[in-house]
Amino acid sequence: MSQTITLSATTRTITGKPVKLLRAKGVLPAVMYGFGTDPRNLEIDARVFEKAFESAGESTLVDVSVDGGAPIKALIQDVQQNVMTNRISHVDLRAVNMKEKTTADIPLTLVGEAPVAKGQAVVITKVHESLEVEGLPGDLVSEIIVDLTGLTEIGQTIRVRDLKLPAGLVAQANADDVVVTVAAALTEDQIKAMETAQVGDVSQIEMVEGKKKEGEEGAEEAAAPAAEAKDAKDTKDTKKEGKKDGKKE
């Protein structure tokens, strides 16, 4: 039985722009909604919440006591972070019905040493960071373990059907969806060959763009005297017009 994670919250009366004053004091603004409760604004000690979130994530129940009242079973939802400080700036808490199934995205955690990695360079890729499951709130867990000890050959995969889900949880993804892949690592020669090919492509593009079409140079040389002659004619005509204007005056 996992340890119960508890949070103490108080009703928040400050809303709008002044909320930033709460954050400056180490208070996290929150909202609670969902089963058996009216939407309400709350405030929680930021440091206490961060520790609880590290343990619970968005897929484990927490007991939220508001203003000292009876605990409400809820899931942490929609965690917003400040892009400058990377600190949590706002959170939603969704109260759940313990007798009604719900869905949640549960993080996938790779464990164990893959035998295929012994004695050769390989790349083990986690295709998905989480898995959507359905189950009763009480059956939700903070992570799903992906065992790598069965990977013995390059080209092997771990699919959704291979995962051992906790009792009561059903994956919502296709059973054939790939979760983990194993591939041979690129050699230095392969990497150099790829880099050379890329450089070659770029140089070809530059050559194509810089190359003049056949006959283009001759056309430019022929056009130059014609342009000079035209300029001379225009200058001559201008002088004639100037003389005519002078006679009229």
Q: Which two tokens stand for residue 109?
A: 């955690």
CATH superfamily of the 5-96 domain: Ribosomal Protein L25; Chain P (2.40.240.10)
For the chain, the domains span 5-96, 104-185, 190-240
Burial 105-134 (b: 16+ CB within 10 A, else e): ebebeeeeebebeeeeebebeeebeebebe
Average pLDDT estimate for 187-208: 63
Predicted confidence at residue 234, as pLDDT, reads 52
CATH superfamily of the 104-185 domain: Ribosomal protein L25, C-terminal domain (2.170.120.20)
Q: Could you check whether 5-96 and 104-185 share the same CATH topology?
A: no
Task: Indicate whether 203 pLDDT > 80.
Answer: no
Residue at 242: amino acid letter: G
Average pLDDT estimate for 217-223: 46
Q: Which two tokens stand for residue 149?
A: 């000890």
Q: Which is more confidently placed, 243 or 86?
A: 86
Q: Which is more confidently placed, 197 or 69?
A: 69
